Amino acid sequence: MCKTKFSVIGLDDNNAPSFPPEVQEVISRGSVFSGGTRHYEIVKDLLPAPACWIPITPPLPPVFEAYRGYAEIVVFASGDPLFFGFANTIRHYLPEAEIRVYPVFNSLQKLAHELVVPYHDMRVVSLTGRPWHEFDRALIEQAPKIGVLTDRRHTPAAIAQRMLRYGYSGYRMQVGEHLGNPGRQRIRSFTLEEAANAEFDYPNNLLLTEIRKSQVRRFGIPDELFEPLDGRPNLITKMPVRLLSLSMLELPQKSSFWDIGFCTGSVSVEAKLQFPHLHVTAFEIREEGSRLMECNSRRFGAPGITAVTGDFLLAGLGAFPAPDAVFIGGHGGKLIEIIEKTYPLLAPSGTVVFNSVSPESKAMFIESCSRTRLRLEQVTGITVDRHNKIEILKAIKK
């Protein structure tokens, strides 16, 4: 079967686009065209007659099904089609397709040009149809210059509200609306407090520039700084034990971390701050856990932790990213059952770490390893101050 040839033409928000001769020739020779609703409104009067138009609307599999049978398709896309753009989507769905790209400046480049701000060192995050994860990572790492592609849900106001909620107030926001449209383009500068309560036209994108450090990133948060459970400050994984447990989980090489029995959330918060690339999912049987996780994650600037309260053994786990690292901080006497439920979801070579405070719990962990295909790799003892000795056990899925 012949490979489909795609010509992907970039557009800005100008209602009267001016194309170079090469692009004009591509359009004049075309018979099958595709793009979003906004793209069609811009180019409809420039298309040759008769022309077939295939709208790009989610979900995308039917769009690519509609492309079948056509040898050549001209696609209109926003900005640079290789910059979080539709050319990448074509490559994903049709790896063998032939693609020729005719880009224009993307919206963040246009915003930087208007502001006369160098953008070679800009940290770029797309929130267009994407979750908060990479934006949260940029915040935790306190990137000094963050360019953000927005959508109708991740608005400048919503972004500012999230930053303020987690204590990242040391940025100024520059917002560009209708970039490239001579009649509607507008660029405004805000404090985050101002942006959180402002209204914005869509489409828009923004640049965040750091004016002061917002958070102090500690390597090991002192225990007394956490909001405790029911006023019991000792009911927490102590900081030395916490850091040693995280090191045994090999988190720099992991992508999805589960914290089972999170209590105050200290392990999850520490993991997210030290390894912002992680997807962190935390489970706690006590309903109070939701408030504690919200309080402590906001206190230390750790957005993006998914907190789940209720009995872990009754929880449906299919909605969460499957783990390749698991820490078990609480088990209520059901350690074996918890590991047996977790094991099938654990990635190959995934790591499980458990803090044992008694010979009985150590024996339960070793028995759970024998019941599954976990291989006990390491046992390390540690004593903090006058507390009882804790043994940290590490097992790996064979």
DSSP codes joined into one string, 107-131 = HHHHHHHHHT---TT-EEEE-TT--
**Residue matched to tokens 């994984």:** 237
Strand-pairing partners, residue 101, are: 8
Say if residue 385's pLDDT is above 90.
no
Pair of tokens at residue 343: 């094991």
Give the list of residues 6+ apart from residue 120 with CB closer than 8 angstroms, or none.
Answer: none
Say if residue 231's pLDDT is above 80.
no
Identify the pLDDT of residue 226: 94
pLDDT digits (tens, 9 = 90+) for 71-110: 999 999 999 999 999 999 999 999 999 999 999 999 999 9
Say if residue 1's pLDDT is above 70.
no
Strand-pairing partners, residue 149, are: 126, 205
Listing DSSP states for 35-49 in one string gives E-HHHHHHHGGGS-S
Identify the pLDDT of residue 195: 98
pLDDT digits (tens, 9 = 90+) for 159-188: 999 999 999 999 999 999 999 999 999 999
Say if residue 196's pLDDT is above 80.
yes
Pairing mode of beta strands 256-260, 279-284? parallel
Query: Is-contact 87 77, C-beta < 8 A?
Result: yes
387 pLDDT band, cuts 50/70/90, is confident
Flag the least confident range among 17-26, 162-171, 195-204, 210-219: 210-219
Q: Rounded to an integer, what distance in angstroms lies between the CA atom of residue 90 and that of residue 217?
A: 40
Query: Is-contact 244 382, C-beta < 8 A?
Result: yes
Average pLDDT of every residue of the chain = 95
Identify the pLDDT of residue 375: 96
